[in-house]
Every structure is written in C-alpha cells, then in structure tokens.
Amino acid sequence: MRKIYAPLLTLTVLITSCTSVLDNKIESSTIESNVQQIKEKNPELDSLKLEILESLVTFNNGREAYISDLEEKMKDSEYSLEKMIAPEETFNEQRDNLFNYLKAEEISFNNLLSEIDTVNAINDRFDIEALDIYKKIDSFCIQKQKEIEEREKKAKEIKTKLNSMVDLKIISIRETERDYRDVVEVKIQMTNKTSKPIEAISFNMEITDKLGNKLATLRCRSNDRFVKSDVGYWTYERWDQSDTYKALENTKLSHISTKQEISKINHGGELISAYDNMDDLLVINYDYTTPEKLYGYCPYLEDTDELKTELEKLKEKKEKEIEKSTPIINKYQTITSKLIDFSKMFD
C-alpha cells in the first residue's frame, strides 16, 4: 500500500510547494491573511503594489477602517474626512460590488499585480517616446529662468538708483475714522535728494517689528509733485484692507523698522522704472534648475504653449493605452471614486 500511494503523496507535496499565495483568488473572506503572507514571502514588492494590496484590505475592513487610514495619511488636513466619505450603506454596497466582481472574474493577486507591471512598462515606454519633448521643455525653462534672472538683476540696479534719489520715512501711524469707517492712517515723509523735481513716485514700504517679524508691506503711489519734500497720507480700512489694518492697529512708531523699495519715479519729466511693464511685476521666480530626471515639468510653460499641447497629446495616448490594458485597476478606481464626495469638503 505504501508503495502505491507514496508517489502520489510526493507529487501532491511538490505541487503544493510550487503554488504561490499570489496565485490565490482575491476574496473578501481571505484577503487579509493572503496579503499578510504575500508581504512576508515577497519583501521585494515595490511600494505601488504594496499600497494597492493594503488599500484593498482597508476597503474590505469597512468604512471606519477606511476613514481611519485616510486620517493617518492626511494628518494635516483641515477637512472633515468623516463627512466626505460615503455613508455606511453606500460604502458597503460599493465594497461588495468590487469583491463580487473580483470573485466572478476569478481574479488572482498575480492578475492584479501584473497590471501594475503593465502600467510601469507603458510609463517607461512613454518616457522614452517623450524624451525629446522633455529636453525641449527643459531648454525652454532654462532660457526663461535666465531671462527672469537678468530682468531681476537689472531691476535691482535701477531700484538701488531710485532709492538713492528719495528718502522715505514713516512719521506717524494712527487709528482714526474716515467717512464713518475705521482706518489706520500712515503718514510718510518723502525727501527729494536730487536737483530735479519729483513729479510722481511708486514705492513699497516693508514694516517689521523689533524681533524682525514682517508686519505689512505698504504699496504706495503718489502723483503729487514735490521739489524738496512732501508728506503723503495712506489709509487702510478695517474691512477692505483688513490684513494691513490688523497688522498696524495698536502699532507704535518706536516699535517698528522700515525698508523702502522705490520701483518707479517721474524725475523732472523723465520716467525711470525698474520694470518695463506691469506684467514683469507679476512674474514669479521659481528658481528652475534641470532635474536629475526629466519628466516634462516647467513652471513657466503655459497651457497654450505648443510644447505643452504636444506633451498632453502624448499623455492622453498613454492614458488610453493604460485604461485599455488594465481592466482590474480601472474597476477598482471607478468604484473607490464613488466613496468620496468632494462637494462636502467645506461643510
């Protein structure tokens, strides 16, 4: 008897030892233990695969576990995740829909994880196809960064010249009332250090406290002509300029220091400006440098730029291919997207 059944027993052991937990079908009743075994026996799994496996376990454990997991990942969030997540009945319905689909299609963990490999392969191929566009975008961004830095250098030189032409000094800060509205009135003395009259002036005054904390930046303009000196008044209302009003109310002149930055002067009829136009004032310097790996990012690229359009077309092609090649992941994403109601974010 032993001679007859021994080979069968050996074969059974061999088959069992060759079977991986990754070949198991994904089912609600066994997913937690299966995922634990997968993590233990496959420590080389990449983070994306681990993330989707763990999210399936969390989803299976119910709404409370799902919310708790989100709160852990979004500790600094100001929003109420409890309100945003679908109610218990809807949540359970969507969870059952997913696991019923996985069971009906007899989907294994290998089936699911192989789709992630497919996504990675498509992304890698896309990066190769898009490399030429990435390089062009990087070159565009480097050139743009250079232009911005050159403009800033020129503007700084002109501002230094303008600041040497006029001295600005805050001589009083007081709370008062103007047309039945509470305001903070700032009085600034402007002293001309040149031989020509100042026809108009545009400047900023940065105010800091004794600890070096920035309180406010006053943006001032005056079209009042002065030869030697003039005193200008600027008011900041409690409601219309609330940030500046709050920063300056109860502020004593002896407790602050100021830094002037003159950007434009009409000097005896000659217009001297640190900027060619108003658009230059709005440009943000992102200090762009070429990244270690190019991926088509440039903060100066507009949506209407040809390079951006070309890249978006290639991305759209990639997304369609991924969608077509990953039905399991698509099903998962479609169902989980129904769990969060962003309209309740501010409730």
pLDDT in tens, 116-159: 999 999 999 999 999 999 999 999 999 999 999 999 999 999 99
Name the more confident of 142 and 11. 142
Query: Nearest 10 degrees: CA dihedral of 277, 278, 282, 288?
Result: 0
Eight-class DSSP state of 231:
E
> Which element (helix H / strand E) includes 96?
helix 88-104
Name the residue among 126, 120, 67, 124 with its Cα closest to residue 91: 67
For residue 236, give the H/E element and its range: strand 229-237
Report, as an integer, the average pLDDT of 256-283: 91
Enter the tokens of residue 3: 């001679």
Burial 193-212 (b: 16+ CB within 10 A, else e): eeeeebbebbbebebeeeee
Tokens 């088509």, located at residue: 296
Nearest Cα to 86, choosing from 344, 295, 340, 346?
Answer: 340
User: Could you report the per-residue pLDDT of 321-336, keeping only the tens digit for each?
Assistant: 999 999 999 999 999 9
* One-letter amino acid for residue 201 of the chain: I
Q: What percent of the chain has pLDDT over 70?
A: 93
Q: What is the pLDDT of residues 215-233, one digit of tens each?
A: 999 999 999 999 999 999 9
Q: What is the mean pLDDT of residues 289-301?
A: 95
- DSSP-assigned letter for residue 292: S
Per-residue pLDDT at 16? 41
Architecture of the domain whose range is 157-282: Sandwich (2.60)
Pairing of strands 198-209, 166-178: unpaired
Q: Are 114 and 52 in contact (CB under 8 A)?
A: no
User: Would you list the domain boundaries of the chain?
Assistant: 17-107+302-347, 157-282
Say how many C-beta atoms besides its own lie within 10 A of residue 23's C-beta: 11
User: Which residues partner with 244 through β-bridges?
Assistant: none
* Residue 204: DSSP 8-state: E
CA distance 108 to 14: 21
Length of the chain counted residue by residue: 347
For CA atoms 329, 332, 333, 334, give the dihedral sign: positive
